[in-house]
Amino acid sequence: QVQLVQSGAEVKKPGASVKVSCKASGYTFTSYYMHWVRQAPGQGLEWMGIINPSGGSTSYAQKFQGRVTMTRDTSTSTVYMELSSLRSEDTAVYYCARGAHIVVLQGWFDPWGQGTLVTVSS
């Protein structure tokens, strides 16, 4: 079955960086976009960006431009999201979610990873 498994919880100090991984299985990794979405405690869903696992091209939400980097490793079917210059407001659960087939950009997000809690605290 299609599955996304994310790395474990992280605790970081302000100003540090965090790199979260998302390992895909059960489908052709390079055929579907991957999105990253975050959710602050008790808050809604916030889209961060998208990566095309085939060519590695990315598009980021303006809010995170300059601080986020999304990469992929096709040999292990894993995508990564690195967020730098962390501040307390970045404390959130970070989700990867499979998007549409790469021949179209629009589409639903399914499945989602289980989420990775990143806590930023001094």
Partner 1 sequence: DIVMTQTPLSLSVTPGQPASISCKSSQSLLHSDGKTYLYWYLQKPGQPPQLLIYEVSNRFSGVPDRFSGSGSGTDFTLKISRVEAEDVGVYYCMQSIQLPPTFGQGTKVEIK
The residues of the shown chain that bind partner 1, judged by CB under 8 A, are 35, 44-47, 50, 59, 61-62, 95, 97, 99-100, 105-110, 112-115
Q: Which one-letter amino acid corresponds to residue 121?
A: S
Counting beta carbons within 10 angstroms of the beta carbon of residue 75, is it exposed (0 to 12), middle (13 to 18) or buried (19 or more)? exposed
State the nearest-atom distance from the C-beta of 98 to partner 1, in Å.
11
Counting beta carbons within 10 angstroms of the beta carbon of residue 73, is it exposed (0 to 12), middle (13 to 18) or buried (19 or more)? middle
State the nearest-atom distance from the C-beta of 11 to partner 1, in Å.
20
| Beta carbon nearer to partner 1, 2 or 16 | 2
State the nearest-atom distance from the C-beta of 54 to partner 1, in Å.
17
| Beta carbon nearer to partner 1, 62 or 75 | 62
| Beta carbon nearer to partner 1, 16 or 101 | 101
Rg (CA), the chain: 14
State the nearest-atom distance from the C-beta of 45 to partner 1, in Å.
4
Task: Tell the residue number behind the tokens 């499945």, with chain if given.
Answer: 111
